[in-house]
Each structure stands twice: as structure tokens, then as C-alpha cells.
Amino acid sequence: MKRLFTLNKYFRRNKGRLSLGILFILISDFTQVFIPLVLKDSIDALHANANKDLIIRYAIIIFALAVVSGFFRYMIRQTIIVVSRKIEFDLRQDFWTHLLKLSHRYFQNTSTGDIMAHATNDIAAVRMYVGPAVMYSIDTTIKFLIVITIMLSINATLTATILLPLPILSFFVYKLSKKIHKKFTLIQEKFSDITTMAQENFSGIRIIKSYVREAFEIETFAKESSEYRKRNMDKIKIQALFMPLLFLITGTSIILLILVGGNMVINNQLTLGDIAAFLFFLGMLIWPTIAFGWVANIIQQADASLKRLQKIYDEEIEIKESKETDNSIKEIDGTIKFENVSFKYGDELPEVLSKVNIEIPKGSTLAIVGHTGVGKTSLVNLISRLFDTTSGNVLIDGKNIKLIPLDVLRKNIGMVPQETFLFSETLEKNILYGVENLDDKLLLNRVAEISQLNKDVSQFADKYNTVLGERGITLSGGQKQRTSLARALAINPKILILDDSFSAVDTKTEEEILINLKEFMKDRTSIIISHRISTVKDADNIIVLDNGVIAEQGKHNELLELGGIYYDIHYKQLLEEELQREG
């Protein structure tokens, strides 16, 4: 439970409102407990000598007390529950901020469903603690103390007798809501399975249809769905016990009141008004009794949720600025150097790069070729620090990239990743994603022209306002790649990295783009990864990766003369082209 104290900083931010809330609880409770007392007096008065005026006066007093108490009850929600929503907002915002700082690796190893569950269920559970639980525990305790004090002052024996069953109620509520919560968690888990399944089905609909797996998917869905129903039934079975138990226990208290209290009235130890007041007080205590059990649960759940959230908070931000970061670095020039760089994805995983040395002078173009899976993408990911090297250093302008502020580094690298990702937004917003001025039409046109996207876009009715994704159109593979290229060009980067960025573009369009890019790349450092020799042949330097090391290096002609891997790839591709032409 110590963990819950970590929330104190959130409470402190809302101190004023919270204190006001507690004050309102006090006022509301005090006015409320007076009602049975007035009622008692009015019944006793009735018993003695009925007087119309007196009765009306009592009625007015009771009404006034009820109004005041009700008004402050309303105000309690306006303060404490509002605070809890504010704290929830702060919590979620802190969670999100932390999450986006976590490294690429974290998201590769954690499922989206898990993160979503934390963001929704766990934060909601904590809110239940900071809001309702805090409110009800204060309210309940105060009300209990006042009511019991008054009851004891009227008659101690009767009080003790009729309150006897109440702790049992608290205990049952505690046990039942614990069970219900467990069932509820199971239901939610199943529901998240179903959601994930539905999502995958929709995004994979083409595969499902082409492999004629509709019936299979429907059957799988039915299985999941009926499990969901079963878990709901389990919960209902327990929930159904709640009301009968409540009636049984409160009923017992009332019977005890009539039996024991009635006896006392017969013996003139109590008045009829006292019985009425006790009945009323008993009613007032039912809810606090339930709340005790309920709140105890909320606290436990919040604690468990906080533990899970804490685990994410404790997740180290792997790639971050350090003490050595030189904040005076505001821009970079673009000379890149790999010094004995080795890299692996995990301690148990094999080395992807071993002792790689490369120099890429500012403004030059380096091409990387090599068979699939040799580590080309891994190598360029090290430059923008999506991952850090396992040993060795990457330098830019002679400075270790770990010294360069991350935002300076990344803002200067235009990266066209191998797998295109576009947001469900307009084309324009996608292309200008990394740019401050989201309305720069001139820039938009320029980069779209270089990427040869203009022709395609002129066919769309909404031009650059065409919405992509789920609520919009789907671009072709090549269009997607060129949009991604335009996005990288738009940030006016010092370093441009193209990771197999033309794989879905035909060779003719690719050639045109490369000609356009020549001008753009004139004084920028570029790295082009490709499987096609035609894409890389003009580069200033070409390296061939194999088995994690640089197997060959040089210009196109030099590499051909070597007669190695590059030569092989080149001639196979020439042969393919010829075969295609003949075919």
C-alpha cells in the first residue's frame, strides 16, 4: 500500500479543491444526521399532543435540512470527483509522455494490446482510488462517527444490537466485489482478445478472402465470443447474490430493532420517536457499510494497477541524452564515420554487424548492397540512434553521435524506411509531417515533384487533401513509397537515408526520381540501400555487406573488376533483364 503514496504529488496539486471537498462532506453529513433527530421530535410531539402548526414547522425544518445536505452532496461531486478526473488526466498524460520516450526496442517487445490495457484499465483503477475511494472513505467515516455517537447517546444497548449484523454486510461486500472484479478482469481479457481478432481480420481481409478462410475465421470468432458470454454469466451469478444478501442483513437489523426496541418502548425506556429515528439512522448506515467493503477493494485494485504502471515508469529510457550531451550543437554538417561498430539485437542474439568501419564524407553518396538479412537496415538505424551500437562508435562531423542532442540529430536525418508507414490523414499532412509550417505549399510541390508524386496526385479529386487510410483511399505500393520519400525530403535534411525505397517503383520512374534527387543531394550526405545495381551504380562509394562485415568496397567499375558478390548480383540482374526483354 506504500505505493499509493506516490500519488501524493497529484493530490498536492489539487490541495485547494480537495480541502473544499472535505469541508462539503462535513457540512452535508452534519445536516443530514439532524433529519432523524427532528423526525424523532415530531413523532414524539404527535404522540403527546397533535398540533398542526407544529407539524408543519417540523416538515419545513426537515425539508430545509434535506436541501442543504443535498446541495453540499452535489458540491462534493463537483470538487472531489472533478479532482479525480484531473488527476486521471495528469496520470494519463504522464504515462503517454513516458511511453513516447521509450525506445523502439520496447515497442517491438511489447504488444499494443498490453499497452492499451494499461492506458485504459489501470489508469481507470487508479482514478477510482483518487476519486470515489477517497470521497467515500472520508464521507463514510465521518457519517459513521456522528451517527453512532448520536445513537449511543439515545440508547447504547439497542445501538449495539441492531448494528451487529452490519460488519457481516461489509465483509460480504468486500468478498463479493473482489470476486466480481476477478471475473470482470477475465471478461475484459477476453474482450481484448476479440477486439484484437476483429482488427486483424479486417486488416487481413484480403488474405482471408484469397485463402477462402471465412468459415474458419467465423468459427474461431464464435469460440472466442462464446467464451466471452460464459465469463459474463459467471460474473452475473455472483452479482446476483448481492441484493438478496443486502436485504437479508438489513432486514435482520430491522427485525432486531422492532424486537428489542419494541420491548423497550413497552417498558417505557424509549419513545416511538426514538424507534423512528433509529430506523432512519439504520438506513443512513447501510450505504457506508457497503462502501467500506467496496472501498477496501478499490484500494487493493488501485495498488495492483499502480504496480503495473510503475513497471512501465521504471522501464529505462534506453536511448536518451546523457550528461555528456553537448547542447551547444545546433546543427550538423553530415560527415559520417563508423568506427569498429559491432551490433546485436540482444545478448543472446547473434552479432549482426561486426567491427564495421566506414567513412562517408559530407555531401557524398554511399550505397549499400548485400543479400537479404545481412544487416543493411540495422546499419543505417544506428545513425539516427533507433538503436545504439553494442560496441564501437558512430561519429558525425567527428563527434560521437551520443554527444549530439537527439532532436538535432534526428531532425537532420531524412529517413525513408524500408516499410512505409503513413498516417490516416491527408497526403499533405503526411508529407509535411516533420515540418514546422504545415501549410507550406511551395515546399509540398517541390518535394512531390522530386518524388514524382505530382502526376499521381493530379488524378485524385482532392489532390493533396486526399485522405489516406481507413477512412480514405489506399495508395499503391509505389505511391506509398514516394509519399514516404517526399516526407523525408521535406524536412530539408543534411543526411538522407533511402532504405530500399524504390522496391515498389518501376525502374523507369526510379531513374527519373534518381535524376531529380541528384540535384537535391548535391551537398547532402546520402545513403542508398538497394537490391538493384541500377540504383546504386553511380554512387561515390559502394559497400557490399556480407556476414556482418564489409566484404567489398569501391566504385561500380572497381567492384565489377573484383569479380565477387557485387559482380554476381550485377550479372544475374543483367541476365534477368535480358530474359524479360526477350520474353
Ligand X SMILES: Nc1ncnc2c1ncn2[C@@H]1O[C@H](COP(=O)(O)OP(=O)(O)OP(=O)(O)O)[C@@H](O)[C@H]1O
Helices (H) and strands (E) in the chain, counts: 25, 10
Provide, rounded to whole angstroms, the least separation between the CB of residue 285 and ligand X.
Answer: 60
Provide, rounded to whole angstroms, the least separation between the CB of residue 390 and Mg ion.
Answer: 18
Q: Could you say whether residue 352 binds ligand X (CB under 6 A)?
A: yes
Query: Which of Mg ion, ligand X, none does residue 137 bind to, with CB < 5 to 8 Å depending on kind?
Result: none
Binding mask 84-103 for Mg ion (x = CB under 5 A): --------------------
**Interface stretch with ligand X, choices 39-47, 259-267, 281-289, 374-382 (CB under 6 A):** 374-382
Select 376 or 524, whichever has its Cβ closest to Mg ion. Answer: 376
Can you say how many angstroms the Cα of residue 506 is from the centroid of all Cα atoms in its chain?
Answer: 39
| Neighbour tally for 557: CB within 10 Å | 9
Q: Are 465 and 428 in contact (CB under 8 A)?
A: yes
Provide, rounded to whole angstroms, the least separation between the CB of residue 394 and Mg ion.
Answer: 18
Which one among 30, 58, 106, 345 touches ligand X, defined by CB under 6 A?
345
Q: Which residue, among 260, 265, 276, 253, has the nearest Cα to 36 in the 3D structure?
A: 276
Can you say how many angstroms the Cα of residue 444 is from the centroid of all Cα atoms in its chain?
Answer: 32
Q: Could you say whether residue 459 binds ligand X (CB under 6 A)?
A: no
Q: Which residue, among 67, 136, 105, has the nearest Cα to 292 in the 3D structure?
A: 136
Q: Could you say whether residue 240 binds ligand X (CB under 6 A)?
A: no
Q: Could you say whether residue 348 binds ligand X (CB under 6 A)?
A: no
Select 140 or 484, whichever has its Cβ closest to Mg ion. Answer: 484
**Neighbour-count burial for 136-162, b at 16+ CB within 10 Å, e otherwise:** bbbbbebbbebbeebbeebbeebbebb
Q: Could you say whether residue 170 binds ligand X (CB under 6 A)?
A: no
Provide, rounded to whole angstroms, the least separation between the CB of residue 531 and ligand X.
Answer: 7
Query: Which of Mg ion, ligand X, none does residue 349 bind to, with CB < 5 to 8 Å depending on kind?
Result: ligand X
Q: Which residue, among 488, 496, 473, has the nearest Cα to 427 in the 3D structure?
A: 473
Select 49 or 372, whichever has its Cβ closest to Mg ion. Answer: 372
Task: Please give the Cα distance from 562 to 540 (Å, whole number).
Answer: 17
Q: Which of residues 55-94 bind ligand X (CB under 6 A)?
A: none
Binding mask 374-393 for Mg ion (x = CB under 5 A): --xx----------------
Which one among 84, 103, 305, 378 touches ligand X, defined by CB under 6 A?
378
Helices (H), 327-431: 376-381, 406-411, 427-431
DSSP conformational letter for 467: B
Q: Could you say whether residue 131 binds ligand X (CB under 6 A)?
A: no
Q: Which of residues 415-434 bind ligand X (CB under 6 A)?
A: 418
Scanning the structure block, which residue is given the C-alpha cell 534526428? 410
- Calculate ∠ Cα 581-582-583, nearest 5°: 95
Select 353 or 517, whichever has its Cβ closest to ligand X. Answer: 353
Provide, rounded to whole angstroms, the least separation between the CB of residue 494 and Mg ion.
Answer: 23
Task: Please give the Cα distance from 166 to 351 (Å, whole number).
Answer: 66
Q: Could you say whether residue 110 binds ligand X (CB under 6 A)?
A: no
Q: Which residue, among 489, 477, 487, 480, has the nearest Cα to 517 in the 3D structure?
A: 489
Select 281 or 343, whichever has its Cβ closest to ligand X. Answer: 343
Q: Which residues lie closer than 8 Å to 125 by C-beta, 6 or more apart? A: 298, 301, 302, 304, 305
Question: Residue 338: beta bridge partners?
Answer: 358, 394
Q: Could you say whether residue 354 binds ligand X (CB under 6 A)?
A: no
Q: Are 33 and 284 in contact (CB under 8 A)?
A: yes
Which one among 170, 377, 451, 452 touches ligand X, defined by CB under 6 A?
377
| Neighbour tally for 203: CB within 10 Å | 10
Q: Could you say whether residue 376 binds ligand X (CB under 6 A)?
A: yes
Q: Could you say whether residue 373 binds ligand X (CB under 6 A)?
A: yes
Q: Could you say whether residue 503 binds Mg ion (CB under 5 A)?
A: no
Provide, rounded to whole angstroms, the least separation between the CB of residue 456 and ligand X.
Answer: 25
Query: How many binding residues for ligand X (CB under 6 A)?
Result: 14
Task: Please give the Cα distance from 360 to 334 (Å, whole number).
Answer: 8
Q: Could you say whether residue 385 binds ligand X (CB under 6 A)?
A: no
Task: Please give the Cα distance from 511 to 51 (Å, whole number).
Answer: 104
Select 293 or 375, whichever has its Cβ closest to Mg ion. Answer: 375
Select 373 or 398, whichever has its Cβ closest to ligand X. Answer: 373
For 385, phi then psi, to 5°, come to: 60, 40
Query: How many binding residues for Mg ion (CB under 5 A)?
Result: 3
Query: Which of ligand X, Mg ion, none does residue 373 bind to, with CB < 5 to 8 Å depending on kind?
Result: ligand X
Within 458-517, strands assigned E span 495-499
Task: Please give the Cα distance from 215 to 219 (Å, whole number).
Answer: 6
Q: Is 340 helix (H, G, I), strand (E, B) or coil?
A: strand
Assign residue 65 a region: left if phi > 0, alpha if psi is -120 to 50, beta otherwise?
A: alpha
Q: Are 36 and 281 in contact (CB under 8 A)?
A: yes
Provide, rounded to whole angstroms, the least separation between the CB of residue 223 and ligand X.
Answer: 32
Q: Could you say whether residue 494 binds ligand X (CB under 6 A)?
A: no
Task: Please give the Cα distance from 368 to 370 (Å, whole number).
Answer: 7
Which one among 108, 322, 437, 458 touches ligand X, defined by CB under 6 A?
108
Q: Which of residues 415-434 bind Mg ion (CB under 5 A)?
A: 418
Task: Please give the Cα distance from 186 to 34 (Å, whole number).
Answer: 45
Q: Could you say whether residue 221 binds ligand X (CB under 6 A)?
A: no
Q: Could you say whether residue 137 binds Mg ion (CB under 5 A)?
A: no
Select 561 or 568, whichever has its Cβ closest to ligand X. Answer: 568
Catalog residues that contact Mg ion under the rule CB under 5 A. 376-377, 418
Catalog residues that contact ligand X under the rule CB under 6 A. 108, 345, 349, 352, 370, 372-378, 418, 500
